[in-house]
Chains A and B, each alone.
Chain A
Amino acid sequence: MLVTYWLKAIRNKLEAAGAKRQYKVRPHRRRQPLSAQPDAATAAANLQSALNAFQTSVDGISDTYNLNVAAIDQTFESNVATIGGNVRTDVQTEIDNFESAEGTLTDAFETLVDGHANTAELTLDAAEALFDSLEGAANSLLQNENQSTTTAFTNAVNGADNAFSLVDTAQLAILDTAYDTAGDTFNTTQQGADQALNLFIASQQTAFDSGHTALRAIHDGNVTTADATHQFDVQTAETIRDTATSPFPYIDYDPSLITTTPAFTAVLDNGQQTYSDNIALLDEFYQNNIEGHYVDYDNDLENARNVRQGLIDAADDQYRLDVAQAQSTYEAAIATAENDYGNAVYGLGGLEESFDLTVDFHESVFDSAVEAAEQVYDSVVDPAHTVFETAVETAQEAFDRWADGEAGPSSTTSMVETIKVSKIEFFTGLTLWRVDYETLYSGYGDVITWSETSRTEPVVSVRPGGTTTVTTMVNLVATTTVTTHTANIQLDKSSPVRNPSGGVLYRGPMVITSSSTPAATSLNPYELALHERALLLYQRLDQIQDKYEGTLDNIGQTLVNNIDSANDNYDNLLAPLETGLDTALSVIAGGFNGFVANEFNTYTGIETSFWETNASSMTTGTPPNLTPLYTAAKNFYVNNPDKAVDSTIAAGAQIVGFVTAERALDTTRDQAIIQAHYTADVDEANAEKNAADKVINAQEEFLLDVADINTDYEIVTETRTTARDQSIANAAHTFELVVNGEEETKGKAVTLAQKGFDYGYASALEVFNLGELTEWVDLATDSINASQVLTTALGVASHDRLDSYAAAGPVYTALATAAGVNLANDLGTERINHTSDIGNQGVLATTTVATSLASMYSSYFGGSPDVTTVADAWKDYAIDLSEAARDEYNTIANSLGTFWNDTESLSQSIETLIAGADTTYGTLMRNAESARRNVAITSVTSALESFADDAKDYADTVVTEVRNLYDSASGAANSFINDVNTDYIPYMTSVAAQALSSVELVIDDFAIALRDSTDEVKTQRVGQFLHLRNAFLSIASADDPVAVERVKDDVSQAVLDLVIYRDEVAGMNVTIAPNVTPIPLPPSANAWLLENVGTIGLNGLVGFLNGFRTTATQVGSTIDDVLSGKWWDSTISHLSFSASYNLNSEVATAGRLIATGGPIFGTLNYVGVKLGLVTDTVGMGLEWVASLDPEAATRGELSVEFLDEVATAGIPAGPLTKGAAKLKRLLKLKPQRTVNQAAEGIDLADDVLREVDSVVLERLRLGAEIEIPAGTRGIRKMMSDLSVVSGNEVGLLRMADGRRLLVMGGPNAIRLPRNTARIIAHTHPRGRLSFSAADLRALNARGQTMSVIISPWDDIAVILRVGGN
């Protein structure tokens, strides 16, 4: 161990002494200088001068030291920086070279893979093309079949449509014809009716005309009759007149005889006036009557119209009622028909339900068929899948067994160590061993080997031909193994050499082969190799450690020896000086003691004489005169100090001389000890450097072996993984072929079932459609019948209304006719009456005139009676003419009613004819539609069946071709995997080899850098040791003058104190005071004397001066006693206080001794200055040197942890990176300047290797929130590293939408984005593993019960419960 115990001890002692000195210091009593003052002043001045010179020297030494150390540090830092730069450059070069080589290999591999991929794609393309071709053909066939089916269906439907259309057309024609016929019939009928009507009218007109003619004839007859009557009457009258006149033939009736007479004229004028007046009255009366009859007639007509309108309105109302009833009846019939149709088709147990049941049945048949196909499929595929899974499991288990280190069925895991004698030194017999290791995995044929070459060791004791026992493999790794199992030693006996220790030694090759089952049997050979290799490294490190500690022990022992030698030399040279000093002091002390004894005797004699003289006075109570006694006492106390002054001066001179001589010896001794420590330090630095190099070498070899094993491991793992994957791929290919075949079989079964279902469906559909058609026919029939009923009802209603209309006409006509008849009658009557009245008036006027005439005429003629008879005949003739007109009107009215009745009969017959034509038409159309739908239904069934047939054929073809395609694809994929795997192994092997080469070079670079760094550290340390030694060497002698002057100063001060005391005593007026202390001295002097001189006498004084050292040896050891803090313990201390003395006094004395200085003061000061130097100027160096132990400890700890990490990592993916990271963290934990600088190279390289983290870091620094998918591994480590590198807090948060985000805050601060649902974890850069109050606030705000805190420097994480607050 690099321990500067001496420096530490010095420092500790000085600190302790300094503390005590500081505590014990109290003001030094000084009196005014008297006679010894100049000497004391001179001594003090000389001391101060010496101190100044010492300080100047120390300052110079310190400056030189600092400069030298600074230069060394600068050189060190420069060299370390260069090393770091070199290793970074070298590592980057290796990385570049690797990436270049890897790129070339990868390009070549990718070219091969592309070729295989192209082949696979070509195969797949060909298979797909074939599939497309066959599928296209099948599809074309399907399309053609579908087209044919569709065409047939279309044709059938079109045929049906055509038939329907023909029927439709025919029926339409028939209907049209019927309509036409009906129209014609109607028209004919109508024409007939019209004609009949016209005929009837004509006949009626004829009848009327006939009637009218008859009436006219009657009338004419009547007129003729009347004329005849009139003629008869005239003739009668004429007859009468003639008769009457006949007797008067002689009368020649000549009215003119009278008419010309004035009398007659007057009569005539009067008669005419009367007649005109009467006619006017009759006309007026006649007109009034006529108007009244017309009013009556109009009223009668109005009444007739009202009656007729009432009849028409009643007929309309009845018609509406009849129509509504007919409509209701029709709608009820339609509703019933539709309901019947709905129930039959869609109702419970109807056609649709039957259809659904039938379809369900066919679906169940289909499902059963599919299920059966599935069962057949599963019965074949499941065993095939089991076979596949078994193959996968077998391949995986085989791989796992290999990976887990489980031996194969007939294999074992073992390790063979072959130890070969590499070289034997002939004269010494020392042997250089080479140990080869092999881990065997016989079941799989894996063999991993590595070799180690031992250092030169004593020879193995071998007994050829006998049982082999390896006994002296002390520091070889093989020791523990070889001795635990039987070794097979093969010796080359051709060149034996003699073993200097006895027996025969054979020059190599001597092979000792051993085989064993390692303890760690759960590892595969590579893990086993790593494990064993790590154990080997531990063993080697233990060896290095043991060797290193042994070397340190030797160095420590040499140091102790050198220190002992220096002390011995010092003691030997000091002994004569001590003897001389003791002798001189003894002489002086003897002289002083003799003087004091003489003075004491003198005083005693005086006191004895005094008391003998004054004895009585002591009893009488009268005090004697004490002056003589006090004078004697004063003389005693004056003479003794005076003598003490002389003796002190003399003793002081001796001590000064002794100190002067002792200082030189002490300097020589100190420098020898310093040199011894320096030598030990340098040796320790070299040993440490040597050990460090060996550790580095061991680690380098370990890493190289690990890299080699890892490469082999990676290669064989990839090979076995590829083999496993290939086996699985082959099994999968086999399984896929089975699946494809069964898919085809199942597919065809399903298509067959589908076809059956389609047929069933078509049949059910046909049944449904036919049934529905029947129901539709019924519905249509019912609708037609209802329509017919409706039409008939409407016709009847219309007929009834028309009948009513017709009935209303005659009523009206009768009324109107009656009115007309009445009017005619009235008019006739009025006319008759009027005519009669007129006739009467004419008759009257005629009579009057005639009478007058006759009278006059008679008178003229004498009153002849004959003339009177002739005038009466003319009056009867006018009345007969007015009666003929009344009979003519009645005949015309009767003819018109007959005409109307005939017309209504004709209209009813036409309506009946049209309704019959409509019924005939609907029935025919129903039959035509039914026929058409029948054809469509059967055609659909046929088409569906054809579609099903064609679809099955197509599906069967496609299923088969799909299988062929899948088989081809699976084969192509399997071939591709085979080819890629075949090419992948050499590619991966080449890359791994290239990586191994690069890793080995990187390891070499780091090892070189580490060795260079440790060399620089050693150089720096040795250089600092050298300058520290030189500083100490210079300081060792620099204080010697100070010590000498210090002694002189002390002596002069002591002398001065004695002189002052003596002078004080000598100048004292002794006064005697009764009952007081008999020594009336000043308190200070009295106390001093009582404690020192008065008690111990000159010996005490001398002891005071020399530190109560009774021997020179003791004097020389006083420093150590003081420094060791043991001065107060008289049993072990060289400070020879008398055991009889009071302890308190001793302590006080010693304290004053230290406080006031003394012979040791110079040394003390020297040490104090040294302490100051250490503290003030060399402190850095000392601290640094003192820190070498922690550094060594840290390095050892690092090595162990590094190796642990490598070992526990199993397959150390980047062990160097992990080790470097660990080293860096530990170094930052315990920052050591030099070691940090040495590690800079690793840091730089490590930073390069951690480039990925740098990218993440930069993103986070820029404020990015990086999403971390669930299941991401190593997130804690990432957070820890990011926090270390950045110094910032890093948090892992879960957001409300479920994402996990990685965020970075600032130093000791972190921001939680909005919608932060959970704080999963965050770092505390300062390492505090507890929640802050702010953390708790944020956690409680989310109801969190726990969270993770990561201490990045420790690289540990803890899950903490929130726990309230």
Chain B
Amino acid sequence: MINTMNKLNLANGCIEMVHGSGGRAMQRLIEELFLAAFDNPILRELSDQASFDLPAGRVVMATDSHVISPLFFNGGDIGSLSIHGTINDVVMSGAQPYYLSAGFILEEGFALSKLKKIVDSMAAAARDAGVPIVTGDTKVVEKGKGDGVFINTTGVGVVTSDIELSAKKIRPGCSVLLSGSIGDHGVAILSQRENLSFETTLCSDSQPLHRLVRAMIEQVPDIVAMRDPTRGGLATTLNEMAAQSGTGIIIDEKAIPIKAPVKAACEFLGLDPLYVANEGKLVAFCPPEKAERLLEVMQSQPEGKEAAIIGEVGEDRNHFVQMKTLFGGHRMVDWLTGEQLPRIC
């Protein structure tokens, strides 16, 4: 008989097709693993939906699917990342995050011990951010049709003030601020990929930014736009902002914080750190006269202590992002073509 009657074997068991069949095995997985870790009154209802009230204001919603390899990396795992990523997408609007959902696609044969580690890490990240997971879903796919685990999370938040952040509000003259060093996440992940592992003590920067954002919004409500430079890195985010606002952006290479291990790894892999992913950084645009104050506020928060003013917005009908190089010249920082591939020599 299939393992449906026994307690979930979290130490040595693995995901079986029955865990997604809607029967007792699935119930057990939900109760003994997900509910036990995420426990909160709304989730405990175990309904098909979560029901809650929100404070008055503009509701903000964001969703993100996580398919990262490797699942565990220096500074985090797919679980904590799936919480931080979505919270950050919600808070870039200036919202306070309230609730999360979590959907799992599990591959047959995936070790329950690993899944527990991931789920516990999600629970800890959600608790730390004070944003409960209130509804969820689990599906199981046959062995070979997934990559261990895929996680989708959706977040809901509310903007209670009359603040309305938008790239469209960026004007020539605006200052560009960055909350910390770039490329940490991407390089940490690359260093642990099977086919090109190299040794580094570098950790992913995966972290929630709601505290930092709240301080920024409260102290400097004149911020016009914010975004987290995840996939495609700082360069891609700046190009999006320039295109959407119809401006040009000039950044100063000297001002952009990059950790030595990131520089070194990018150097020998032939990558440009401007295009490497981050998971706990933000870029903010504000009127120039508020830049110093905003910088001070950012640096006073743990998530922004290395914040810097990295450039300014100008007029440019081509919507180019340009960089003043350390070397004293100028160059374009273009959109990425396909994925960044290592160079031969």
Do A and B bind? no
